[in-house]
Amino acid sequence: MMGKRWPLAVGFVAGLSAVWLGLATGHDAADQWSRAARWTARIGLPIFLLTYAASSLGRLWPGGLTRSLWQDRRWWGLGFAACHTVHLYALVRALDAKGEERTLASLLPGGLAYAVILALALTSSDAAMRKLRRNWKRLHSAGIHYIWLIFTLAYAGRLMNADTRPEAIYGVGLCLAALAVRIAAWRKGKRA
């Protein structure tokens, strides 16, 4: 079919499916687009975390599945970028439908995350790796950790609200589990 590129299609289709589900179940335009934005973020998180933890999983538990995940992490990252591009569209439509205005301070962290996602997607090629050399690794390492931080903080901000607490526990729990996997792999590498 698509060879190694299928995770890109998975991310895009998952994002579009979340939008469709939000639009199909909401009560009005604001509710529909809010659901679409929320659900695209929820489906994007596991795709992102697969990318975030792929090499660490491969180091900790070598095997066919983890090796495949590690080898295809570029495509999982591009799948996340596709899903989160759909999320951005749904988020903009939700804010527009609600008539909400956001301050620059509230838009800056997430806006920077989208700039990072774009930079990572545009440099996810062998040619970019050769051209940027060590800076490629710096960009991708700093970028993926920044996106992880934004996801973690976004979900952590919902912990105090009883209505959003289950979603917050899901998000923070997955983010911390992925970080624990990365730390464990890093420690294993230091010992070796």
- Split at pLDDT 50, 70, 90, the class of 39 is very high
- Split at pLDDT 50, 70, 90, the class of 101 is confident
Q: What is the pTM of this model?
A: 0.90
- In the chain, % of residues over pLDDT 90: 78
Mean pLDDT in residue range 100-111: 84
Position 1 scores a pLDDT of 41
Maximum pairwise Cα distance, the chain:
57
